[in-house]
Structure 1
Amino acid sequence: MAEGKGSLLHVPPRRPRHSTGALATPARTVIAILAAVAILLAGTGTAQAEPTPAELEQQIDEMWNQLEPTIEQYNQVHTQLKENQAKAAALQQQLQPLQAQVDAAMGKIGEIAARQYKVGRVTTMQVLLSGATPTDMLDQLAMVNAIARNEHAQIAGVAAARDKLAGDKQTLDGLIAQQTVQDADLAAKKTQIEAKVAELQKLRQQAYGSSGATGTLKPVACPVDYLGGAGGTAAKKACELIGKPYVWGATGPKSYDCSGLTLAAWAAAGVTLRHYTKWQWEDAKAVARADLRPGDLVFFYSDLHHVGLYVGGGWMVHAPTSGDYVRMAKLDGRPIAGYRRPG
């Protein structure tokens, strides 16, 4: 063993090549294979598969569920703002004649006060010169004072009404100022919303073609179950609107959003609904799923940001999302929050 070990120590070690020439054949082979794989992947695009229509539909639903609450909030604030502006204008019209009455009454009081002063001095002089009794003078002055008190009472009533209306208008003006800021903030988001809507439309075109429609808008007879009365009329109207495009904030006649569609359908039945999903929830009474009948409203999601109109047989008509159209859809498989019946 000692000799063998000693002989190994005398063998000169191999030195690595420092030549600038080609690398060893195995190394060249590995690099060539890796390069070929990279080129193949880049050329074929198999590194990332194209999303399926179902996956795109899920993306659209997720994006829209973020957008629709903002749209409904805009509907609420903008409607309230317009209503309060109209109220403020009406109060202003009521204030103008009241102020005129106050001014006119104040003028009369001034005249009475001057007359009282003059009558008082004349009566005193008459008492001294003509022998009129003090009782006559006091009676005349009392009558003038009574007239003045009556005029003062009248103006006090008018002034109180004026002051109340002025106070109401001041409160309303403050609310309008606040809502104007909110309305402007939501309007500023319009550009962002429209950009998102454009993205949704592109996704739909990729998944379903340039029409943006998904399947058949009316796969069965609509309404499925027809009943008379206001609900039946509303259901029939909703069915007639199938095919109209979705446009947020729209109440017809060319386009609709979800609460705009239900508003228009029930308007045909002579029932007024407000253009906001939560208001429509408040304005209608609760019904059980087992008691649903055509015309009933079906609300979705915990914040009630979407609504459809039941047409029987487990089907509803609704305005789904931007880029889509008023269409029929099954209730099952959706996050239902509850059912309500207007009227």
Structure 2
Amino acid sequence: MAAHRNHRIHRKPRQRLFTGQAGRTAATLALAGAATATATGPAQGEPRLTPAQIKAQVDTLYAQAETATEQYNGAKVKADEARASLTELRDEAARRTDGLNTSRAELGSIATAQYRSGGLDPAVQLALSSRPEDYLEQAGVAERAGSRQAATVAGIRRELSRIAGLRSRADTQLADLTARRAELARHKSTIQRKIGSAQRLLDELTAEERDRYEGRGGTGRQDGGDPARADRGTPRGTAAAPNARAEAAVAFAYGAIGKPYVWGATGPGSFDCSGLTQAAWRAAGVALPRTTYTQINTGRRVARSELAPGDLVFFYSGISHVGIYVGGGQMIHAPRPGTAVRLAPVDEMPFAGAARPL
């Protein structure tokens, strides 16, 4: 009997099987763990991208970031316009409100004066007056005052209507500004995400591979230029600009060589691609719009065979990049984040068109 009890004490307890909801939960956790292990395993064994594959992906990411940058620039222009319009509407509404308050005060003074002197019927006042002629003269003044009062009331009503209209337009502009700010935030997020992905890919390159990539500007063709040596001493082409304004724009572009690319920047210390061309032509006294896809419609379009120094040269099917032609098949442009304004061949990117500001 004692031996039997001892056997029961040392017997290995049976494992409890989960059933129902508990069983389904346990099974789900087990499958999830297995899936995680499977996903982790092969990821560690994936082959490393080749330098050529990394460069191709980085070029794509930077092109997408530049497209988003131009969209950001366009949205910023519209946001600035909406903000200026809103400020103007609010200022006008405030001025008109001040004028309305003055008219109301004048109307109140007239009403107070009439209240103080208007207790008797006019016929009674005439009968009691010791000088009827004086009373009749005063009555004429009062009538004229009544006409002015009516005009004041009508003016107040018109101002109330105008102010209501101004406030309604201001509300519309505020809604537009809010939408533009949201659009800016979306484009900014896209730009930062694309640039971050490109930087992570570039970190996979060796120092030598990255130097080669940086040397060609990440644009798909070797330009033979080292950004570290792309300074303001770069020799100028021999082609003559067609006029003094184009010459001034080209001179500005040469002076900007070596300044860093920063998306959304228009100078003077940094530029994005359309910011550089806008600043160059601004120095020549010509106002260009802010984005690549609006700059291409500036002035007149020119064929590639007719390019002259100062012309704007555009690239990619989406018109997402621009440079300023300087002659000899060369342009000056701000390539992308991580680079500086530089001299480069026009044929290093897919040519999309050219325009000559007037």
Q: Which TM bucket (shorter chain)?
A: 0.7 to 0.9
Distance 1:321 1:79 in 2: 21
Question: TM-score with structure 2 length normalisation?
Answer: 0.71
- Tell whether 2:215 aligns with 1:213: yes
Distance 1:285 1:325 in 2: 29
Distance 1:244 1:297 in 2: 19
Residues 77-108 of structure 1 deviation map (CA, whole Å, 9 limit, x = unaligned): 23322332233233323322221111121121
Could you tell me whether the CA contact under 8 Å between 1:197 and 1:322 is conserved in 2?
Answer: no
Q: Kindly provide the amino acid, as one letter, of the partner of residue 58 in structure 2.
A: I
What is the aligned counterpart of 1:238 among 232, 237, 253? 253
Distance 1:293 1:124 in 2: 92
Query: Per the alignment, in what secondary structure is the counterpart of residue 147 of structure 2?
Result: helix
- Tell whether 2:184 aligns with 1:186: no
Distance 2:325 2:126 in 1: 91
1:142 alignment partner in structure 2: 143
Query: Per the alignment, in what secondary structure is the counterpart of residue 353 of structure 2?
Result: strand
Q: Structure 1, unaligned stretches of length 5 or more?
A: 1-46
Structure 1's 211 and 48: CA in aligned 2 closer, same or farther, altered over 3 A?
Answer: closer
1:152 alignment partner in structure 2: 153
Could you tell me whether the CA contact under 8 Å between 1:295 and 1:310 is conserved in 2?
Answer: yes
Q: Structure 2, unaligned stretches of length 5 or more?
A: 1-45, 217-223
Structure 1's 191 and 48: CA in aligned 2 closer, same or farther, altered over 3 A?
Answer: closer
Question: TM-score with structure 1 length normalisation?
Answer: 0.73
2:166 alignment partner in structure 1: 165
RMSD of aligned alpha carbons: 3.2
Equivalences for residues 71-220 of structure 1 within 5 A? 71-122=69-120, 123-130=122-129, 132=132, 139-189=140-190, 191-199=192-200, 201-202=202-203, 203=205, 205-209=207-211, 212-214=214-216, 215-216=224-225
1:148 is displaced (CA, Å) by: 0.9
Residues 154-204 of structure 1 deviation map (CA, whole Å, 9 limit, x = unaligned): 434544443333232111111011112222333344542341241364359
Equivalences for residues 8-47 of structure 1 within 5 A? none
1:74 is displaced (CA, Å) by: 1.6
- Tell whether 2:327 aligns with 1:312: yes
With 62-71 and 206-215 compared, the bigger mean Cα shift is at 206-215
With 80-89 and 292-301 compared, the bigger mean Cα shift is at 80-89
What is the aligned counterpart of 2:291 among 254, 262, 276? 276
Distance 1:148 1:100 in 2: 19
Q: Kindly provide the amino acid, as one letter, of the partner of residue 270 in structure 2.
A: S
Percent of residue pairs identical: 32
Q: Give 1 or 2 for the bigger CA radius of gyration.
A: 1
